[in-house]
Structure formats: C-alpha cells, structure tokens
Structure 1
C-alpha cells in the first residue's frame, strides 16, 4: 500500500531544504523519505549509493 505523499518528506536538490509533501517540481526533489531527518541526510545517502553502485559495476566489468 502506497503511503500518502503529503506525509512523506523530500529533499529539494535546488534549495537544499527538506519539504513535507509534494511542494516542488519533481526534477528538484529526492525522495520520498519517511522522516524529516532521513530527508535532511539525502545527499549522504545518494552519494553512498552511487559509490556502492560504481564499485559493483567495476567489479562486474573485471
């Protein structure tokens, strides 16, 4: 069951602000996140995921 988007949090990549609900254009948003704190640390999570995926790709291409 999908959660109500108005009760989820999003990180606005353009402004660096955490928003609750769908306030900004989708191109500017990262998320959804369950909590404001998770959204506030979105860039850290995105960087970690990107690094992990790059390492996995490098390993697969050996």
Structure 2
C-alpha cells in the first residue's frame, strides 16, 4: 500500500488530479493511486472496467 505522501486521487467534480492535501470530499474522489499518472488515467480505467463487467453480463 502507498503512504499518505505518495497517494493521488482523481476528483470527479473538478476533473483534476489531487494530492494528499486535497480539500475535495471523498465522495468526489477516485483512488488512491500510487502515482500522479495513474490518477490522471482514472476515468479511462473506470471505463475499461465497466466495459469488462458489461461483457460478463
């Protein structure tokens, strides 16, 4: 698991990558991710997972 200093989130409200000091509420965040790049690709990862789950139905 990553430490708090290494955690990054993607804020769905602001469409921005947020660091460990974010003021955004948890309900708006995807993550945590280990790198800023992973957080930046959060929506693509969600899309891929949804498509995989839809294909299983």
* TM-score, length of structure 2 as denominator length: 0.85
Does residue 1:4 correspond to 2:26, yes or no? no
> Where in structure 2 are there 5+ consecutive unaligned residues?
none
User: Which residue in the other structure is 1:16 paired with?
Assistant: 15
Provide the rounded CA distance (Å) in 1 between the counterparts of 2:52 and 2:20.
29
Higher relative contact order (CA 8 A, sep 6+): 2
Q: 1:22 to 1:46 in 2, by over 3 A?
A: farther
**Deviation of residue 3 (structure 1)?**
2.8
Determine which structure has more spread, i.e. the larger CA radius of gyration. Answer: 1
Equivalent residues, number: 56
- Structure 1 outlier segments of 4+, above 6 Å: none
